[in-house]
Structures are given as C-alpha cells and as structure tokens.
Structure 1
Amino acid sequence: MGSITAYQAAAGRRYRVRWRDDSTHRQVEKRGFRTKREAEIFLARTEVARTDGSYTDPSAARAAVGNHGTVWMRNKRHSLKASSYSSLETSWRVYVRPRWEDTRIGDIRASQVEQWIRELSEGTAPTNRTKSSGVAGKPRSATVVYRALGVLAGILDTAVRDGRIPRNVARGAQNLPTKRSEKPRRYLTHAEVVRLAEAASTSTYRTLILVLAYCGLRWSEAIGMHVRDINFDRQRIQVNRAAVEVEGRIVLGAPKNWERRIVPFPEFLEPPLQEMCTGKGPDDLVFTDAEGNHLRRAKTSVGTTSWFAAALERSGIERLTPHDLRHTAASLAISSGANVKAVRRMLGHKSTAMTLDTYADLFEDDLADVAARLNQGALAADVSRIIQV
C-alpha cells in the first residue's frame, strides 16, 4: 500500500502520495494535491491500476514528444518505402514537431489535440515556416490534417505500448475535417487514347502512353521496367519494381503494396515494345530519357510545358495526369467485360473489394444490365398474369 503525507508549500498546505513501483522496486511519489481527499482518490486509482496491469510510472510520461518522435521516425524509415517515409517525415518536420516537440507525452490532453486539429484546418497552427515569425499560413487540407494527426497518434501508440502513458488521447478526435469528394474521374475512350498517343512527340512517349492506358501500370512501375521484364512469347509484363521520384531523386523499390505481379499486354503493343527493347540488354530500362536515365514524371499543372502537357494540347484533350491513364485502363478493361478479379490482378490492388470500391462508378451499366436480365426472366415466367404490364 502507498502512503499520504502533508507538507507545506509556498501556496499552502499540500499532500503527497508515495508508493512502490513493482517493476523498478523503487519509491515513486506524486505531489501537489490540494486536499487529502484528492490524494486518497489518486492513490486508490493507482492501486487498482497496479492490480489490473494498467499501471504506468508517472515519471516515464515526462519524456518529450520530440525525443520520442525522433526514435519513432527512425524506426519508420527502416520499415517504410522511401516515398511513404518522405510524406511522413514532411508531416513530422513541418506540422507535428513545431507544435509538440517540447511537450511531455503525459501532459497532452484530448482537448489540446482537437484544438491543434482546428488550427491546422484554419491555417493558424505553428509550423516550421511560421513558428518563429508568428505569421499564420494557409488552411491545410483534410489529407494534411489526417496525416499530421496520424504521426502524433503513432508516436503516442508506441508510448502506450512502452507503458509510459495509459491511453492515446490522439485517437478518437471528434473534430476531424471532412474529406471533400474528388472531382469525377475522366476516363479516355479508345479513340482518345489513340489521339493522345499520336500527338506525343517521340516514339518513346507514344509507346509509354499506350502501355499506361492498356496495361494499367503506375508511372513508377512503367519507368522502372527492364527489358527482361517483358515476355513477348506470352505477351506479359512482370512488374518487379517501382522507380519513385522522391525529393528530386529516383529511388528504386518494390511496387506499391509490395506486390509483384504479371500484367498482360494487347497484341498490338508487341511491335512498339520490341522497338523500345532493340539494341538493349536484359537489365536496361525500356523507357528512358535522351541520356538513358529514368524518365521524370511529366508535369501537367497549369502553365507547365512538359511533353505530356503538349500532347494533351495538340490532341484537344482536357488536362489529365499520367495516372489518369491507369484509371482509363481499368475503364477499358471493365467495359470490355473483363472479370473484376482479373482487373484487380492487373492493377495490383490488395483485394477485389478495393477494385470495386475504387471504380464503383464504372459498374453503373452493370446494374442496369442486371435489372434488364431480371425483367426478361420475369416476363419469360409470365409475370404479366399477376401485374399489369
């Protein structure tokens, strides 16, 4: 059992609670209780926590978020892909660290977390750009807010597992911003894909557009493809790696979701792909720039003059991104009657449910077809006998 003793502080009579930590076998105390009743309640809760295994040493909660977060980020760097870690590191450096670096993990309150969420959404939260100047920035998107909160929550999750704090107050926030729905996707038709490829300035770009639009590869997977990854006998592409551009440099790694897969390509793509591979060795890149290096992602924002933007302008197609060609591949495959499981494998999704959720809008015609088939079946069974048709 613990003990309660009174002492004289500058502000008046106060009480301290002392007890023995079962793991370290040393005496621990907490001071500053205004009444003996408050001290008794705290001691009772502490004894219950020691009994049911939820006890945490108050001194362990004094670690600052900055120190704990630095270790957490190092561990994440070891386990995440470069692109994923880059997003996490930016969120930690720009949003989380400026606000919480000097705060003790045991002092963080749910209300403070929710205030921070509001300030991020309003653009008034401190960042590494505004902390020193005090000048408010622009409101942050829901995606930025969710990612920043996720970093803080991840750090505190580790603190809970370490027994530093009893629970994570960053989980279950009540004022998270609503993610606005994205604008409707633009799927190209066969004719539009041909027109866009035709408007590209080189054979490399023309073939790349066709591969993206008919194989559903991600940009990073297409530019990371080696000659040996193409099986011309079976008309298959082995997706083994992704070449991701991170902070201006190309980083090689596994495909998204760590899932290597085999993707079929239409027969008409064999001649242009053969042309891309002519004179190259098995480990050479299929698509390269003029110097033989990885292609850089083509920018399509307003005012840019990339080869892709130029092809869009010449073809008369509204602004798209290269990633929209992956969506086009899904659309063309589904409209051709391909099985959704086959589409999932082509795209490299984790599950068929993910494919259905991502491209739910492409299955509207299927719903109409279901109704039409049910109608035909009912009429064949002479449903008109019981209803007025």
Structure 2
Amino acid sequence: MASIEHYETKKGRRYRVRYVKPDRKHTDRRGFKTKREAQIFLNTVEVSKLEGTYIDPTQGKVTVGELAEPWRARQSHLKITTSTGLEQALRIHVLPVWQNVRVADVKRTAVADWVAAMSKTRSPTVVLRAHGALLGILGDAMRDRLIPVNPAADLDNLPKRRRTEHIYMTHEQVAKFAEGSNGRDCLVYTACYTGLRWGEMAGSTIARTDTGRRRLRIVENAVYVKGKHHVQTPKTHELREVEYPAFLDDLMADQVEGKGPDDLLFPAPRGGFLRHARSRERWFKRGKESAGVPASITPHDFRHTAASLAVQSGANVKAIQRMLGHASAAMTLDTYADLWDEDLTVVAEALNRAREMKLGQKQCRGIRKAPRSAISRGSRGNFIGVSNGT
C-alpha cells in the first residue's frame, strides 16, 4: 500500500511517499515540502502504473557515457564511412560534454544550447552527426524505460544541411577531360556515363564486366578508410547493373584485355584497389585544364555529370534512380532538382504539340473568351448557373 508520512529536518517539515513499484518492490521518494506536492507525485505514480508508463526514477542514474559504447557497438549495420564518422562525433563532440551526465539529468534546453554552441564553429554535417549520436543513445535509454522521453528529440534549432553546388560537364567537356587525363580515359568516360560511385568503380572486377551486353554488375564497393580499403556492399546495399554506351566498346575491350576474372577493372597504377582520386592529382588536374571546367570540380562531379547527361537524353527519373543506385526516385529528384527546372515548360510545350496533332492546327489557335452575356444567359434569357452545392 502507498502512504505519505512526514518527518522533521533542520529546514522544517518534509514529506515522504512510500509506494510499490510494478515489480512489487517497495521504494520511497522524500523531500516534498508540502503534503499536496507529495500527493500529486503519488497520484502520478499510480496513474503511470495503471497505464503501463511507469519509469523507475533510480534507473535514470546511469550516465550517457555508460550507454555510449553499447549503443555504438549496435551500429554494426552501418557502412564503414558512416560508423567512422559516428565514432569521431562521439569522441570529439558528445562524450567530452555528456559522458558523466546521468540520462535522467539531460534537459532538452541543455541539448539545444549544446547544438547552438557547436553550430557557431562546426558545419551542419558535423553538428547533425553529433546530435544524431546523442539522440540515438538517449533513444535507447527511453526504450529501456530509463527515462520517460528523449530530451534530444524534436529540437527546433538543428542546422540545415547546405546543398553543395553540383558541377555538370557537357559531352564535349567530358571528351576533353578524358583526352587530357593521362591514360585514364576509360575510367573518366565510365564514371561520367554510368554514374558509378568511386568506390564502386574501385571494386569492379573483370568477372562482373560483360562487354557483350555492355553491362557492369555492381556488387562491391571498395572504400578507403583509416589507411586501408574496406570492401563492402554498395551504399544502399542494393546490387544493380549499369550499362555503358556503345562508344566505349573499344576502350572497355582494351581495359579487360589480358586480365583474369578476379582482377580489378580499374586497378591502381601500382596494383591493388584504386584510391579515391584527389583534385590535386596530376592526371585530374590535367583533365580539368584540358576540359576548361571550374577549378572546384571534384571526382564526385563525374557522377553528377552522368545524372545531367541522362536527364538531357530524356531518361525518366526511375531509370536514372536505378543507374545511380539511389534508394528511391524521390531521393534522385531531391538530389538533382535543379536538372528538372525546365520540365514544366517542356511538359506544356509537349501538351500543346500533342493537342495540335489531334485537333489540327486550325482548331488549336488561341481560344477566345466568350462574352459574359453569352455564358450567363440562355436563349430565352434564363440564367444558366451552377447549383449551390445540392
């Protein structure tokens, strides 16, 4: 049975609430200044027990730091690049501030202040990654019923990711870039006309290259992290095939000649996996200068170029999504929204042409608006209107 009793302290009378937890263990809460405060607390406890939402106050004494490592270990499903970023966020931004703070003592305003302070000196990506780690840790605490709500959830001051400006090359610029790339023309063309991620090209093998069908089967992604390559599934875990254009036949035939099934399609100059190209590498600088493209172009802009050229060719968004390996067509549209800016005009012009073909050019001349009297009165002067919703 629950009860409320008073006791004396140097500061005056205080009240203690004794009650039974859902696990049938007895506990108490003391320090209430008035009996009314104690009764309100007891009522809250009894209601939460009935609703199944009771949270044991003693459970919230575990610290953020104690939950951080188990939470990180449970993120084994993430790609190596993502998990590495989370580890850095924990080490640099989360644990220095929250490690010794009990989860029950984490306040929403304190989390918001932390986010605001980081946002002054760190990029949105860094801030969002750090906040995401704390959000995940406290989310586990909430699901384990250590705290009633997640104080890091639904913040209104999280920064927005800045959309990076894409650089799109034309067919002519791609050709000049390839010609000036010091023997990497097949790699440049493949990247710019298939949209493969750099790691997907690095992980491509001869066995998964079908020159007869002009298909590359994308099964592995080789990324360079922490001083070594990690071979894993593609970014969205989806295996796919991409087809390269016919003009690449001769270059691709040369690329596979003399290699075994397990050999890499695009090996590094000294063998092994191809490391991510850096903008300052000699071959990339030469290609850039030859093409006359902006100095800020990066190897990832090859992928953006593939998307741009595909849109210009008339490919639908679903086909482009499959080519790029995006999780959804919505992601493709969101990433390359600027490529579809002229779509409304194109659609309107196409509809106009279609109507002319069906009705004839004479009937499709501008439709004139009929006089108001002609549409407001019938032949006998009766008003022609629309019923009032009945």
After TM superposition, the score normalised by the length of structure 2 is: 0.89
Match of 1:72 in 2: 71
Q: Distance in 2 between matches of 1:327 and 1:180?
A: 17
Contact 1:187 1:331 in 2 (8 A): yes
2:229 aligned residue = 250
CA distance change for structure 1 residues 385 and 107 in 2, over 3 Å: closer, same or farther?
closer
Deviation at 1:314, TM superposition (A): 4.0
In 2, Cα distance between equivalents of 1:82 and 1:10: 58
Amino acid at match of 1:291: R
SS at match of 2:345: helix
Match of 1:37 in 2: 36
Q: 1:60 to 1:380 in 2, by over 3 A?
A: farther
1:91 paired residue among 89, 92, 95: 89
Map of 1:277 onto structure 2: 256
The aligned runs of 1:212-291 (5 Å cut-off) are 212-291=191-270
| Per-residue deviation, residues 183-219 of structure 1 (Å, max 9, x unmatched) | 3x221000000100111112xx221111100011000
Structure 2 counterpart of 1:209, one-letter code: V
Partner of 1:200: 181
Q: Deviation string for 1:13-39 (max 9, x for gaps)? A: 33222211212x211222222222222
Q: 2:378: which partner in 1? A: none
Partners of 1:299 and 1:306 within 8 A in 2: no
Q: CA deviation at 1:373?
A: 2.7
Structure 1 residue 359 corresponds to structure 2 residue 336: yes
Moved more, 374-383 or 163-172: 374-383
Give the percent of matched residue pairs that are identical in Structure 1 and Structure 2.
Answer: 42
State whether residues 135 and 152 of structure 2, in contact with CA within 8 Å, keep that contact through their aligned partners in structure 1. yes
CA distance in 2, matches of 1:75, 1:10: 49
- 1:353-373 Cα shifts (integer Å, max 9, x gaps): 222222222122332121223
Matches within 5 A, 1:98-137: 98-122=96-120
1:313 is aligned, of 284, 289, 296, to 289
Does residue 334 (structure 1) correspond to residue 311 (structure 2)? The answer is yes
- Say which one has the larger Rg: 2
The one-letter code sitting in structure 2 at the alignment partner of 1:285 is L
Q: Which residue pairs with 1:2 in the alignment?
A: 2
2:283 and 2:15 mapped to 1: Cα distance? 74
CA contact (8 A) 1:221 1:241 kept: yes
Gaps of 5+ in 2: 371-390
What is the CA distance between 1:256 and its match in structure 2? 0.8
Counterpart of 2:47, as a letter, is: V
> Counterparts of 2:149 and 2:93 in 1: how far apart (Å)?
22
Aligned counterpart, 2:132 = 150
Query: Do the aligned partners of 1:298 and 1:306 also contact (CA within 8 Å) in 2?
Result: no
The corresponding residue for 1:172 is 154
State the SS of the aligned residue for 2:366: helix
Contact kept in structure 2, 1:16 and 1:31, CA below 8 Å: yes
Question: Which structure 1 residue ranges, 5 or more long, are not aligned?
Answer: 123-138
**Matched AA of 2:245:** P
Task: Check whether the contact 2:174–2:291 (CA below 8 A) recurs between aligned residues.
Answer: no
Q: 1:48 aligns to what?
A: 47
Offset of residue 182 of structure 1: 2.9
Counterparts of 1:286 and 1:43, CA distance in 2: 70
Contact 2:176–2:290 (CA under 8 A) maintained in structure 1: no
2:102, 2:11 → 1: CA distance?
24
- Taking a change above 3 Å as real, the CA distance of residues 285 and 181 of structure 1, as seen in their structure-2 partners, is closer
Partner secondary structure for residue 245 of structure 1:
strand
AA matched with 2:17: V
- CA shift at 1:290, angstroms? 2.6
Hey, what's the Cα distance between the residues in 2 that align with 1:227 and 1:181?
Answer: 36
CA distance in 2, matches of 1:8, 1:174: 45
Output the amino acid matched with 1:15. Y
SS of match in other structure, 2:22:
coil
Q: What is the aligned residue count?
A: 364
Match of 1:296 among 265, 275, 289: 275
Give 1:347's aligned residue. 324
Q: CA deviation at 1:383?
A: 5.1
Kindly indicate whether the alpha-carbon contact (under 8 Å) linking 1:240 and 1:260 is maintained by their aligned counterparts in 2.
yes
The CA distance in 2 between the partners of 1:98 and 1:9, in whole Å, is 38
Q: Secondary structure in 2 aligned to 1:179?
A: coil
Distance 1:309 1:39, change over 3 A: farther
Please provide the CA RMSD for this pair. 1.8
Change (3 A) 1:265 1:385: closer
Give CA deviations for 1:311-360 in whole Å, capped at 9, x if unaligned: 21343322311111111111111111122221111111112222222222
TM-score by structure 1 length?
A: 0.89
Shift of 1:54: 0.8
- Residue 62 and residue 187 in structure 1: after superposition, are their counterparts in 2 closer, same or farther (change >3 A)? same
Q: Does 1:159 align with 2:141?
A: yes
